[in-house]
Amino acid sequence: MSAPLGLTWEALAGARVIDLGHALERGMPVSPNHPAFQLAMMRRHGDMVRSDGGSAANEIFVLGGHVGTHIDALGHVSQDGLMYGGIDASSSQSNHGLTRLGIDTVDPILCRGVMLDVATYRGVDVLEPGYEVTVNDLEAAADAAGLAVGAGDAVLIRTGWSKHWGDADLFRGQVAGAPGPGEAAAMWLAERDVRVTGAETIAYEVIRPGEGHATLPVHRVLLVEAGINIMEVMNLAPLAAAEVHEFLFVAAPLKIVGGTGSPMRPLAVVDA
């Protein structure tokens, strides 16, 4: 039997998988707009022991669809009452979730991945809070890697912000701000018809100091106008450490009917 996509089983066996997601754990940074991650044991080993001595443990966990490494559904954002494709937002939701453009409509993603390492291009480990990633930054980072962004790509923008994962207040960016693409950079991605795009911050866009999430124009451009899903709270440090800029990108949201977003575990598959 041949391997998928024309690859040999030997090549697949020798591939390296790089995890681009953060671990879900209590106390991790969470947007103030979403519920914090909680986990509690509902049954511990020994609470119930079977006649043969076997026992099991299980838990309950609670989190929002936009907590931890996650992807936004197109229906997550509306502008002037309309979602992507001119769909009326108010008539496309219920107490059970979205009735259109929910996360359950997002197919699993398998495509070329490109990391644009803006932090390294600018000669820093991490961009300063409130730094706006520009079109020039994206083009220069692509040129430095010898890559061109094309239609159907997963484009990941590295700001180095994962370095602050252990400092929840700084990572959230509500006071000092956070780096990310501006509106022009979002339009640049939309013009190239990328499949999906992701970054390391809680909100996929530049957050000015003291402004929090007062306005999110990049979300409007990508989700509402261009129909491009956004991935947030990614961990791109392993890609940078491996100096990998092009890879096979694999990710899939949970199939939550009516969900506005979903946790996910994105992966980069590279030649070992």
Tens-digit pLDDT profile for residues 160-213:
999 999 999 999 999 999 999 999 999 999 999 999 999 999 999 999 999 988
Given this model, what pLDDT does residue 212 score?
87
Give the tens place of pLDDT for each residue, 135-146: 999 999 999 999
CATH number at residue 179: 3.50.30.50
Give the tens place of pLDDT for each residue, 69-83: 999 999 999 999 999
Give the tens place of pLDDT for each residue, 14-47: 899 999 999 999 999 999 889 999 999 999 999 9
Given this model, what pLDDT does residue 217 score?
97
Decide if 3 contacts 11 (C-beta within 8 A). Answer: yes
Given this model, what pLDDT does residue 6 score?
64
Domain hosting residue 180, numbered range: 4-271
| pTM for this prediction | 0.94
Bridge partner residues of 197 (DSSP): 155, 230
The CA distance from 80 to 60, in Å, is 38
The mean pLDDT value for 259-264 works out to: 98
212 or 106, which is more confident?
A: 106
Given this model, what pLDDT does residue 82 score?
98
The burial of 191, by beta-carbon neighbours within 10 Å (0-12 exposed, 13-18 middle, 19 or more buried), is given as exposed
Given this model, what pLDDT does residue 5 score?
63
- Provide the domain count of the chain: 1
Rounded to the nearest integer, the mean pLDDT of the chain is 95
167 or 8, which is more confident?
A: 167
**Residue 252 in this model has a pLDDT that exceeds 70:** yes
Band (12; pLDDT cuts 50, 70, 90): confident
Given this model, what pLDDT does residue 20 score?
98
**Residue 1 in this model has a pLDDT that exceeds 70:** no
Band (10; pLDDT cuts 50, 70, 90): confident
